[in-house]
Structure 1
Amino acid sequence: MKKLFLFILLCTFAQQLLAQPITQVVRGTVTDGASKTPIPGASVLLLNPAPAVGTTTDGNGRFRLTQVPVGRVNLRLTLVGYEDLFLKDVVVNAGKEVVLDLQLIESITQLQEAVVTYRRSEDVTVTNNEMATVSARPFNPGETLKYAGSLGDPSRMAANFAGVSGANDARNDIVVRGNSPATLLWRLEGVNIPNPNHFGALGSSGGPVPMLNANLLAKSDFLTGAFPAEYGNALSSVFDLRLRQGNDEKKEHLVQVGFNGIELGAEGPYSKKSKASYLVNYRYSLFGLMANLGYKIAGTPYYQDFTFKTDVPVGAKGHVSFWTIGGRSNITFLGKDVSTDGDGYGDENNNIKVNFFTGMAALAYEHRFTNNTYGRLTFSGSRSYQQYNADTVLYNAGDGKEIIAEIPSEQSEFENEKLSVNASVNHKFSARDKIAGGVILDLSRFNLSNSQLYPVAQAFRNSEGKTTLAQAYVQWKHRFTEQLTLNTGLNGMHYELNNQTVLEPRLGLNYELNNRSSVSVAYGLHSNVQPILLSFYQTQNPDGTYDLSNKNLKFTRSHHFVGSYQRSLAPNLQLKTEIYYQAIFDAPVEKQPSYYSVLTEGADFAPIDKGNLVNNGTGRNYGLEVTLEKLFAHNYYFLITNSLFNSKYKGSDGQERNTPFNGKYVVNALAGKEIALGNRNNTLSLNWKITSAGGRYVRPIDLAASAEQRTTVYQDNRAYSENLSSYFRMDFKFGYKINRSRLTHEIALDLQNITNKENVYQRAYNPRTQRIGTAYQQGFLPIPFYRLTF
């Protein structure tokens, strides 16, 4: 009897232990949004689960909440003289502490309690950059893993935003408002960086696989027009990314398997007595690993990347950080391995071998001189390398695929290195006024070589040298009242290569109509240097000599005009509309009458092989964007974006044409639901996405001329008059999160293109079949995902 009683007692005790909720630590730092000064005495209140509990920030602006149940929690930060800050549905997992870096904005009107304004009522809707007035959206890295179809890729996730469309399923190029994706500026930790994608060709901004890791990113900004003065050398958009700091109190680890590869990560403090921390991650191609184990596929992509960041406090007012990102990638396509029924794109006629390397690093020191002034000095460097070799594959006549010759046809080797110095100072005069300024100096060295070997030998590039790009900016934010804010500034650039200097004014006004709605207008003049491969293209003269006929091309420039209206329809439901007009001028076009403009380039791996260009081209983009967003609350969210736009350009023939990026419309609809299961707050998530977009415009193919020359020949007089069929894709993702003591498992399956819609990729002439073939984009593809944090 005693044994039975003891057994029942042990079972009851074990049941009680299992019923104990799993908890985690939520902590962070609160600073002044303008001066970055730590704010002591701010109240931090955990609103759920009831009853509410709270704490206050210490002298260094730090706070800590312990025993916070896993799941989603809401926080409220308050301090007299500052606007309240609400953070809703912060995700708390068992396997990782929640460390927040929060900013409060000083209120102009000093009242008994903080004034809550429309714009600052939700942190998730506000950008890091206070100077951004319109066409700016915060990028929250957690959404890249949540949204269906995003694959943990920041670029693919950004394609869900209004005004943005992806170039194709195979690449993550970002097309903004009909502009070439090559005109996007990548910035990381305040440093202008090269293309951060595997297989990212020099002069492009995208690639098939991201080198940036969403697990390591902090809240960042994505800007699509009329951006602040600190951003120069960008014509269409800016992706301003930040790396998060490693946990400075506890060692944590990550194991992940997904589309982007197999990765291992670690972070933590160097010692228990130090606040210095590290963050490190290594990733290797999943397909490459499978190939090494014997499961090879045609065109196996091999790639790997490494990211490291360390943060070291220096005294009470200084901070040193160092970060580096590097990645290698290579792939081989052999024509004989391409499976085709005779109607597909003629890659079977080429062998292609490519190798890429991109590396970047930076050392930064930030110092708070006073409670209102801080500065930052950064030294950085980067290197991009690309090697390309191609063979032309010749077959016997007929329907067979008997190879009779593989002739080397093209070879390329591009190298670009850059050393940079960035210096900036920010000063807050008062709650009304903030001023910021800085300089950026880039010293670039390049070595460019590529030539065609067959059917006609021709050298396209054979140059090496160096040049500098110097930038300086100043910007001022003035708050006339709690409702009316002015953001203005001036950016200047000087490019040594062509001895050109430009000045770019920026202006933005935001007016809060009431505590639920606001209107904004902005203007900006923006300039973009020409791609280095374009500047050093060699034009062959009749006597066989070569000239660098593009070397002295000026900046491509554009005027941005944007108007915006935002309204909070409900506590978690927001409507935003924007109307814009972009006038582009000084775009390179050919001297002789031609359809060509540099505005049509940027969405593939090939360099621009055009010479004798002049800055006489123009373009215009205009449109309307509507975003309806239900922020995550009550266990569900949705995002609906609709973009109606028109994108036109003129070449040297004076005829206005569609750009190849003029899809006319893009509609995205995303929704998701989370269901809590069990007493450990395990979570089942269901996420859905649908995209519909207009077809791209292409150059029609001249079948007779193509058959005669045995390669694709286009009807240039009808350039971009043929419209491909519209694009449609539906994705569904479901996942399950399991919280256990001190660790979290996340399992998901991303079902991409579940209707198996055949979206056209491109059309080309196939000399073997003597027909125009159509290549289609990705069909139905299930992609598994697993992540363990502990």
Structure 2
Amino acid sequence: MRFLNGRLGFCATVLILFMASPRNLYSQSPFFPTSTITGRVIDRVTQQALIGVKVIVLGTGYKGFTDDNGYFTIERVIPGVYHLRFSTRGFTTEFKSDVVAASGRSVFLQVELEEIKNPVRTIASPSSYFFFDPMAVSRVLQFDFEEVRRSAGALEDPERFLAGLPGIQPLIDSRIEAIVRGSSPVENVVYVDDFELALPEHFGLQGFSGGLLGMYNLNQVRGMRIRTGGFSARYGNRLSSVLELNMREGNINNVEGTLGINSNAVGAALGGPAGASANWLLSVRRSYLDLAGGPKREKPKPRYWDLLGKLHWNVDYRNTITLIALAGLDAIDYSRSDGEYLIPSLLIDRARNLQDQYLVGGRWVSNFGRKWRIDISASVTRGEYALTIQDSTGRKLREVNAFEKEVTVRGESYLQVSSRFFLRSGLEFKPVEFRNTLEWVGDTSGFGNPLSAINADVKENSLKFAIYSEGEFFPFSNLLLKAGLRIDHFAYLDEFTLSPRAGIRWRLWPNLTLIGSAARLFQNPPYPWLSSDPANKKLHSMYADVATGGVEYLVVPDWKFTAEVYAKEYRNYLVSVEEPTMMYNSLGLEGGFFYGGKAVNAGVGYARGIDVSIEKKLSSGYYGLLSYAFTKTRFKALAGGWAPGTFDHTHAVTLTGGVQLSRSWTLSARWQFATGRPYTPFDAKASIAARRGVFQRGKFMASRYPEYHRLDVRIDLRLNFHGWDIVAFAELRNLYNRKNVYSYVWDARENELREIDHLPFFPVFGFSTEF
């Protein structure tokens, strides 16, 4: 008995010591899983690798140093959530939060440090957990993979995650249509690893940046940046925002993989080294709802595939080459059932949509010393789009067959002319080809205007060309002045556009910075509208004059307050001649099917507002973001006078946050509120008499939908095993089952007003395994 008691006492002592000092025993024991943290540290300005940077995992004894190519590796790390510090002599010290070490895969981080002797350093914010772009003169938001993945309401989709950010509201729960500062989904652009992607979502609409869900697996996304103000001269052909998605690289040491399933798709990914200085990544996903079987005439079941491939090669200390391929294949076939119509106002009985999109690109970045960098890239994007819509008699209401192809070759130089002056210059050459076959039956609008039938078959080859230059000057150590000019040419419209840009960044105190920008931004008319009428070849590009001013205040290293005011003046906006109240930026989900016909550049408008937010990074067990946005938009077409914009939400509040309950459990939530959008009410008597929707005269955009608000709650679980792990989540969307109204339509079959709602309460589950 004494022997047994001794054994029990010994075991109890070991257990107590283990629990009291888990990291030491955990990292030394072969019986417990461990992880590896890897990454690369580069110069923020020159993008060259930094050697000898010290990397410390805060609160532990883990540390490492970067090698000759800027890479570091920290092995045998206990699985968990960590915060890292990066420091070296002559450069700023940076922090990284939300670094999740898991046994199934290594963590790869890309970190940028700034040279202290450079004048840029003096306008930088103190070391913190927040992303800082020393050359940004308007608001830039950056989020890493883990911040997006764990976010309630995002469903692990980077673009759906945008709806919770300052100044950005969703259009409809079931789709991804970001409304940036009261603008429109047609005014946004998405770049993947610096390559423009025309249709970045599955089941997107021509001319729109949104869709049903993202065309990429979140597990392959390293991070994202969203620019919502007067962005750099290197970006063109959009009026509101630029979203940059950066794909991660493959593991440089060994092959790793991921298998996962969520509410609508299954996916797999592999990545690993390719020789001593290269790595590769491959990801594929497929929807599975169409495999569930069931009656043919039931709710539509989208079918899609997407594929991502990437190869990254560090040729030497100065040169890197990146190759990327992205593809998406979509199909959906809707047939009416149970007396329900896809669009009740038109008695649509069947709709079929097929679309394919491909992107293939290559990029070479070379540094000539520490003062000059060149960036040369070439890519091909190709998309095919087919849509057929039939009414209850089998008659085709709309038929679209479209093809778009753009070949983009871009060269850019970034030169440090002196210690106080930097110059970015670039050239972009883009041959384009588009074909549109459009067959639309004639109709009558809700205002009683006759809409002519459209029968167009257009095939065009044209050229887009751009040249830009931008200077960054530091007259004083705490002041950045920025000015640039972009010149675009679109041969099809036979026009040149000049887009000046200017900005200022002034650091008043170590933790307080003022920013301001002004720009004229242009956007070409979409290919389908250009094709729908011969007269549209005389159209011009739309433009907006944008001005922003803001303040960034770092309260403490993990708390930041930001506020920015903005004003936009729209000119030359496309307006339909036959439906004189309809502008291109007023189109939403339904309008994407039907816009076209003769148009003129007669639309004008403005947007004014303010975005305010306070954010807390996950550095002490919890994180959060509280944002408020006020927006006022007014537009004037050919008729209807000045009226609120279709996406004028006026007031919007978002509160999102979460807590790290333990190494394994994370709880998060997001609550959103927005003032109802404006709409034009129906004239009930006239609609009943005509058996179709007829709008009230003199009431254009005079009413508003009820306020929108909802709560999403999510819980994540991570289990670590030897060489692999499991990540599972459960999310309760619209937890208190708020009945949010999306729109009112006139049901032509029942001859009555009908309410279309956003999604009700529903749970979502998913899990993945990493090995």
* TM norm structure 1: 0.89
Alpha-carbon spacing, 1:558–1:335, altered in 2? closer, same or farther (3 Å): same
Specify the alignment match of 1:259 in structure 2: 263
1:497-516 equivalences in 2 (<5 Å):
497-516=492-511
CA distances 1:372-424 after superposition (whole Å, capped 9, x unpaired): 2221221211111111112211xxxxxxxxxxx43333322111111111111
Is 2:78 aligned against 1:74?
Answer: no
Is 2:411 aligned against 1:412?
Answer: no
Specify the alignment match of 1:303 in structure 2: 304
The residue type equivalent to 1:764 in the other structure is: V
Kindly state the Cα deviation for residue 620 of structure 1 after the two structures are TM-superposed.
0.3
Kindly state the Cα deviation for residue 12 of structure 1 after the two structures are TM-superposed.
9.1
| Distance in structure 2 (CA, Å) of the matches to 1:768 and 1:724 | 24
The residue type equivalent to 1:742 in the other structure is: G
* TM norm structure 2: 0.92
Kindly state the Cα deviation for residue 351 of structure 1 after the two structures are TM-superposed.
1.4
The residue type equivalent to 2:99 in the other structure is: V
Specify the alignment match of 2:466 in structure 1: 471
Gaps of 5+ in 1: 394-404, 539-547
Specify the alignment match of 2:93 in structure 1: 84
Specify the alignment match of 1:571 in structure 2: 557
1:547-558 equivalences in 2 (<5 Å):
548-558=534-544
Kindly state the Cα deviation for residue 707 of structure 1 after the two structures are TM-superposed.
3.7
Is 2:423 aligned against 1:435?
Answer: yes
Specify the alignment match of 1:769 in structure 2: 750
| Distance in structure 1 (CA, Å) of the matches to 2:103 and 2:251 | 15
Kindly state the Cα deviation for residue 732 of structure 1 after the two structures are TM-superposed.
0.6
Is 2:50 aligned against 1:39?
Answer: yes
Aligned match for 1:532, one of 527, 530, 535: 527
| Distance in structure 1 (CA, Å) of the matches to 2:317 and 2:646 | 54
Specify the alignment match of 2:138 in structure 1: 134
* Contact 2:128–2:557 (8 Å) recurs in 1: no
Is 2:48 aligned against 1:48?
Answer: no
Alpha-carbon spacing, 1:183–1:526, altered in 2? closer, same or farther (3 Å): same
Specify the alignment match of 1:168 in structure 2: 172
Aligned match for 2:649, one of 658, 663, 668: 663
* Contact 1:486–1:509 (8 Å) recurs in 2: yes
The residue type equivalent to 1:102 in the other structure is: V
* Contact 1:202–1:384 (8 Å) recurs in 2: no
* Contact 2:298–2:337 (8 Å) recurs in 1: no
The residue type equivalent to 1:227 in the other structure is: F
| Distance in structure 2 (CA, Å) of the matches to 1:634 and 1:295 | 52
* Contact 2:425–2:469 (8 Å) recurs in 1: yes
Kindly state the Cα deviation for residue 314 of structure 1 after the two structures are TM-superposed.
2.5
* Contact 1:549–1:611 (8 Å) recurs in 2: no
Specify the alignment match of 2:364 in structure 1: 365
Alpha-carbon spacing, 1:568–1:79, altered in 2? closer, same or farther (3 Å): same
Specify the alignment match of 1:119 in structure 2: 125
Alpha-carbon spacing, 1:115–1:655, altered in 2? closer, same or farther (3 Å): closer
Alpha-carbon spacing, 1:767–1:47, altered in 2? closer, same or farther (3 Å): closer
The residue type equivalent to 1:125 in the other structure is: F
Aligned match for 1:698, one of 669, 679, 685: 679
Alpha-carbon spacing, 1:464–1:491, altered in 2? closer, same or farther (3 Å): same
Alpha-carbon spacing, 1:708–1:444, altered in 2? closer, same or farther (3 Å): farther
Is 2:101 aligned against 1:99?
Answer: no
Alpha-carbon spacing, 1:513–1:482, altered in 2? closer, same or farther (3 Å): same
1:341-352 equivalences in 2 (<5 Å):
345=344, 349-352=348-351
Kindly state the Cα deviation for residue 7 of structure 1 after the two structures are TM-superposed.
9.8
* Contact 1:268–1:277 (8 Å) recurs in 2: yes
RMSD of aligned Cα (Å): 2.9
Alpha-carbon spacing, 1:406–1:534, altered in 2? closer, same or farther (3 Å): closer
Specify the alignment match of 1:320 in structure 2: 321
* Contact 1:217–1:241 (8 Å) recurs in 2: yes
Kindly state the Cα deviation for residue 141 of structure 1 after the two structures are TM-superposed.
2.6
Specify the alignment match of 1:490 in structure 2: 485
- Runs of 4+ that moved beyond 6 A: 1-19, 114-117, 454-457
Alpha-carbon spacing, 1:329–1:291, altered in 2? closer, same or farther (3 Å): farther
Specify the alignment match of 1:387 in structure 2: 386
Alpha-carbon spacing, 1:431–1:43, altered in 2? closer, same or farther (3 Å): farther
* Contact 1:39–1:57 (8 Å) recurs in 2: yes
Aligned match for 1:644, one of 604, 614, 630: 630
* Contact 1:180–1:603 (8 Å) recurs in 2: no
Moved more, 15-24 or 179-188: 15-24
The residue type equivalent to 2:290 in the other structure is: G
Alpha-carbon spacing, 1:457–1:55, altered in 2? closer, same or farther (3 Å): closer
The residue type equivalent to 2:202 in the other structure is: H
Specify the alignment match of 1:278 in structure 2: 280
Alpha-carbon spacing, 1:287–1:206, altered in 2? closer, same or farther (3 Å): same
Kindly state the Cα deviation for residue 778 of structure 1 after the two structures are TM-superposed.
0.3
* Contact 1:592–1:652 (8 Å) recurs in 2: no
Kindly state the Cα deviation for residue 90 of structure 1 after the two structures are TM-superposed.
2.0
| Distance in structure 1 (CA, Å) of the matches to 2:124 and 2:518 | 23
Task: Report the number of matched residues.
Answer: 753
The residue type equivalent to 1:579 in the other structure is: V
| Distance in structure 2 (CA, Å) of the matches to 1:160 and 1:786 | 23
1:573-592 equivalences in 2 (<5 Å):
573-590=559-576
Secondary structure at the residue paired with 1:406? coil
* Contact 1:131–1:228 (8 Å) recurs in 2: no
| Distance in structure 2 (CA, Å) of the matches to 1:238 and 1:604 | 24
Specify the alignment match of 1:736 in structure 2: 717
| Distance in structure 1 (CA, Å) of the matches to 2:695 and 2:141 | 40
| Distance in structure 2 (CA, Å) of the matches to 1:194 and 1:593 | 27
* Contact 1:703–1:765 (8 Å) recurs in 2: no
Alpha-carbon spacing, 1:446–1:117, altered in 2? closer, same or farther (3 Å): closer
Alpha-carbon spacing, 1:268–1:555, altered in 2? closer, same or farther (3 Å): same
Alpha-carbon spacing, 1:94–1:31, altered in 2? closer, same or farther (3 Å): same
Moved more, 16-25 or 521-530: 16-25
Could you tell me the percent identity over the aligned residues? 22
Kindly state the Cα deviation for residue 726 of structure 1 after the two structures are TM-superposed.
1.0
Kindly state the Cα deviation for residue 10 of structure 1 after the two structures are TM-superposed.
12
Alpha-carbon spacing, 1:422–1:391, altered in 2? closer, same or farther (3 Å): same
* Contact 1:34–1:434 (8 Å) recurs in 2: no
CA distances 1:286-311 after superposition (whole Å, capped 9, x unpaired): 3123338x899521111111111111
Aligned match for 2:615, one of 614, 625, 629: 629
Secondary structure at the residue paired with 1:588? strand
Alpha-carbon spacing, 1:135–1:153, altered in 2? closer, same or farther (3 Å): same
* Contact 1:524–1:560 (8 Å) recurs in 2: yes
The residue type equivalent to 2:308 in the other structure is: T
Alpha-carbon spacing, 1:338–1:301, altered in 2? closer, same or farther (3 Å): farther
Aligned match for 2:223, one of 212, 219, 222: 219
Secondary structure at the residue paired with 2:289? helix
Kindly state the Cα deviation for residue 471 of structure 1 after the two structures are TM-superposed.
1.3
Kindly state the Cα deviation for residue 139 of structure 1 after the two structures are TM-superposed.
3.1
| Distance in structure 2 (CA, Å) of the matches to 1:115 and 1:440 | 31
Specify the alignment match of 1:24 in structure 2: 35
* Contact 1:201–1:605 (8 Å) recurs in 2: no
* Contact 2:454–2:597 (8 Å) recurs in 1: no
Alpha-carbon spacing, 1:238–1:287, altered in 2? closer, same or farther (3 Å): same
| Distance in structure 1 (CA, Å) of the matches to 2:77 and 2:243 | 34
Specify the alignment match of 1:402 in structure 2: none
Kindly state the Cα deviation for residue 13 of structure 1 after the two structures are TM-superposed.
13
| Distance in structure 2 (CA, Å) of the matches to 1:715 and 1:444 | 43
| Distance in structure 2 (CA, Å) of the matches to 1:352 and 1:592 | 25
Specify the alignment match of 1:249 in structure 2: 253
| Distance in structure 1 (CA, Å) of the matches to 2:689 and 2:580 | 23
The residue type equivalent to 1:290 in the other structure is: A
Gaps of 5+ in 2: 19-24, 444-450
Kindly state the Cα deviation for residue 615 of structure 1 after the two structures are TM-superposed.
1.9
